[in-house]
Structure 1
């Protein structure tokens, strides 16, 4: 997949292949977004066009609100990985600025979208663009139907209501990972580099990989989780602690440490991907190490029993 970064409107001076494209911020690339993705790939195939995924960076909301402290379900590195897995020909990342936000709906289409050589556009029925969100899918259909056909996809709902990024973030923050998995259509995961810790876990038989995240991820509610860890091309069952280690090896800042079951390799400096399948319990303070070790053995057994059958089929 070719990734194209558009930093200014002047970046659009070169030629682009004719494409069918979906457009949006797509935080989470959740099941609702996947409806747009599948439609885009279908239209591209039917019309003999290249397939394109158009998104923005940084988050338009953070630019408009002038906030740098915004975490996401899928930071750009994670989003790119997921989009590529669908088989898109290209991903266009538009650098979102205050100037872009001030474009009228007409200028947004004529100075940004049409120069990308988009011949068919797919968006959700809640998509808004242009100054103060004045542009709508209906505007495109009414004014550009002959040169920019626009397919509008209805919002997707499940038993919890509309499937949307805000709802999923709330569930992640509450540790309700089963619902998160259902609405993402895959395990929620983060990626990070394994860094040196104080190596205390190995002294009690539970060595952990300490993760330094490589994106502004939404972090699940502190506690102990069962999940899957991908190391290079292999996937293992693991138990993950998000917190401060109140009994042993206490840390002053929130940490993410994973104990990978049936794994003993040295992986310092490696980038691993960690999923969160189910929250097992709160982080607890024990009177001594024996209580902690006994509980961690129970956590590991829980992980094996609940995740073992899906090990070969887990989807990140």
Structure 2
């Protein structure tokens, strides 16, 4: 079945070719999310808030009761998919698809159900300084400008493609922020688990019962002996908490000074013996509230309780908590077919 978005793109490319532009459909590109990225640099200058150095401690988890012993009731995840589909001269056109959802756990039946989801956002990402996107929009194709934060970006294909990937991430985060605002306004009881770092979300209040869970590690906050201590963290233990460096990463829409100082710690939810050093290792982010920090052991126990059931066959199962896995699976079931988008341009 032909999809209107791609019908519009095909007509646009034909019009541009007739106008003398070099238009090329790309059929063999990998999804942008699969592309290799530069390794993150070591980011020093954390501020310790439990003691004056990094230490480890048991969190007091007992393996009984499972998720029934968790205070988490809501679980948010977002997904994004972006795929290079064509060039107009050096300017890439990238297909984007994203959505976010919050699942809610029924406290009596222990089942997960959909609290709300954003619906799918489907559009073309393009640098409007180098592509006349008015023609695309006139053909009914929604377009997002990849140069909205870098208006002076050069007409260089690799750099413009990187801007498209960044724009795709921002669109997903925007969807997540919108859901968090709805959840805050609803005044729901229980805690919200967010897949990913909170420091990229600017709208949180200091006392919100929201926990960010980071399951992959780009930014490195410790080196040398402290990093060895962290990577040797036993199952059921956490590190002492620290505050993240100011300006570690750019924030969506800016943010306050307080918002750049989230409390954070690491917790090991599974036995990592004879595994990769980051197996079962999560980094936790909470709002900068001492009262919430006082519950760090309890929050860590909740996270360990959420490790069952296993998120198999996902290869990330060692670090992927089941409610987040369920949220991701729900979103993927709701989105249109996306793995063969180039076929729609034939």
When normalised by structure 2's length, the TM-score is: 0.27
Higher relative contact order (CA 8 A, sep 6+): 2
When normalised by structure 1's length, the TM-score is: 0.29
